[in-house]
Amino acid sequence: MNLFANKRFRIVPENITLIQRSLAGNGEILVKAGQEVNPQEIIGRSIVSAGFRKINLSQLLSVSPGEVKKHLQRVPGKAIYKGELLAYRGSGLFSGKKIVQSPTDGIIELLDENTGILKLKILPQKVDLPAAVYGIIERVDHVKKEITIKTQVTQIYGILGSGRPREGYLKVLGGMGDLISKNDISPDLNDKIIVGGGLIYDEGLKEAVINGVNGIITGGINAPDFKGMSGGKIKYAHSESEVGIGVLVTEGFGTIPIGNDIFGLLKEFDNKFVILEGNRGRVNLPSTREDSIISIRKVYKFPSNDSVSVVTEEVLDPGKFVRIIGSPNMGEQGKIISIDKIATTLPSGVVTYMITISTNTRKIRIPYNNVEIINSSF
């Protein structure tokens, strides 16, 4: 007797694939097809036009909005340069001093004394584009200002995703089951890809957009929140939604901790460069090993970015790793240690075969229909 279950590829290690790097504005591409690059190598330079940046000084200084003005070190209308002192609050009886430096060159436009948020007009500036990966330049598009690089990445696939490709340095905010709220999002997370925990609240999503967070990886999300991000309908990975931020949900709807397998890998990449592809339901973790270029050189033809079959079907056997996909143990992972040979009638009247899995903390006996096989151990 063979029992079958879906097998989900949550982690695809050391895959040779293509990534795209784009100039932020008008500029010059400095590399050509066939050239090998390293993460620090500058492959393009551009001029980024003026824009605006909002800085929540009330939050950064830990004072009420009405008190912000007296701590401001520059007056509206004055220029300020990256790294210069913007605001300062001396140490108090129960707190240390607070120093806020300007995150960019700009002109102080306005301070809203009702919210404590300062509006900074960004001046046009030169921006260098590093390769950020070990790889080989595959294509150069001088019209679209795009560079396609063949590189080696480890790919993490989620259950749900939203948003166009976005990149940034990964920042793990807490534990794999933590709840992420508005208070966990700060201005220093600008341009980062952040890792939440078991759930990110709607207010946390909004605050992340306000603070320029590029992407969020979370275990769970509330269905109405994801619905609002995907055009009013539930769209699983491979949708084409865009709400100003990339999101990858690794486990499903509701409060579900990020799985041990994925969370452990994300922790290894804390403060490292990653690429989140929300609409494809995955995140790419570029290899940090210099010798990865040897493997990259050997691959001339490789599958397209969309050719990985994330879900297949496979026989359940003792020793295989599974993830529980039904309540009340949704999201837990373990190894199959036994499969019943005789069917069991459940209290609901359903007749099915039971399996026993061993997790990090306990043994669980559940219907075989309530698991999916995963391709990685924990």
What domains can be seen in the chain, in order of their start residue? 50-123 (2.40.50), 159-280 (3.50.30), 316-374 (2.30.30.30)
- pTM score over 0.85: no
DSSP string across 127-169? EEEE--SSEEEEEEETTTTEEEEEEEEEEEE-SEEESSEEEEE
Of the ranges 88-92, 144-148, 177-181, 244-248, which is most confident?
144-148
β partners of residue 55: 118
Q: In this structure, is the dihedral angle defined by the CA atoms of residues 276, 10, 234 and 207, taken in order, positive or negative?
A: negative
User: What is the model's pLDDT at position 287?
Assistant: 96
pLDDT of residue 308: 54
Which segment of 90-104, 181-195, 301-315 scores lowest on mean pLDDT?
Answer: 301-315
Per-residue model confidence (pLDDT) at position 274? 96
Predicted confidence (pLDDT) at residue 235 exceeds the cutoff of 70: no
Q: Where are the alpha helices (DSSP H) in the chain?
A: 57-61, 68-71, 202-210, 223-229, 260-268, 292-298
- CA 361, 365, 368, 369: dihedral to nearest 10 degrees? -90
Q: Per residue in 257-304, pLDDT tens?
A: 999 899 999 999 999 999 999 988 999 999 999 999 999 999 876 555
Q: pLDDT category, 366, cuts 50, 70, 90?
A: very high
pLDDT for 333-352, tens place per residue? 999 999 999 999 998 899 99
pLDDT of amino acid 215: 93
pLDDT for position 66: 92
Q: What is the pLDDT of residue 87?
A: 92
DSSP code at position 123: P
**DSSP 8-state code for residue 115:** T
Work out the average pLDDT over 318-345. Answer: 90
Distance from C-alpha of 162 to C-alpha of 111, rounded to nearest angstrom? 33
Dihedral, CA of residue 367, residue 369, residue 372 and residue 378, to nearest 10: 0
Mean pLDDT of 42-52: 84
How large is the average pLDDT for residues 79-103? 83
CA distance 37 to 53: 32
pLDDT at 17 over 60: yes
Tell me which of 158 and 48 has the higher pLDDT: 158
Calculate mean pLDDT across residues 210-237.
76
Per DSSP, what are the bridge partners of residue 40? none
Question: pLDDT confidence of 309, banded at 50, 70, 90?
Answer: low
Average pLDDT, the chain: 87
DSSP annotation of 280 reads G
DSSP string, 309-370: --EEEEE--TT-EEEE-STTSTT-EEEEEEE-SS-EE-TTS-EE-EEEEE-SS-EEEEEGGG
Closest CA to 303 of 143, 150, 82: 150
Tokens describing residue 62: 């830990």
Per-residue pLDDT, 238: 46
Which of the pair, 120 or 307, is modelled with greater confidence?
Answer: 120
pLDDT at site 376: 62
Q: Alpha-carbon distance 254 to 276, whole Å?
A: 22
Cα torsion 310, 313, 316, 317: sign: negative
Residues 14-22 have a mean pLDDT of 91
Q: What is the mean pLDDT of residues 58-68?
A: 90
Q: What is the pLDDT of residue 51?
A: 78
Q: Residue 378 above 50 pLDDT? A: no
Q: What share of the chain is helix, strand, coil (3-state, %, to 5)?
A: 15, 45, 40
User: Among 114, 6, 124, 9, which Cα is nearest to 65's?
Assistant: 114
Say whether pLDDT at 188 is over 50: yes
Please state whether beta strands 117-122 and 51-56 pair in parallel, antiparallel, or not at all (unpaired).
antiparallel
- Summarize the confidence of residues 114-129 as an average pLDDT: 88
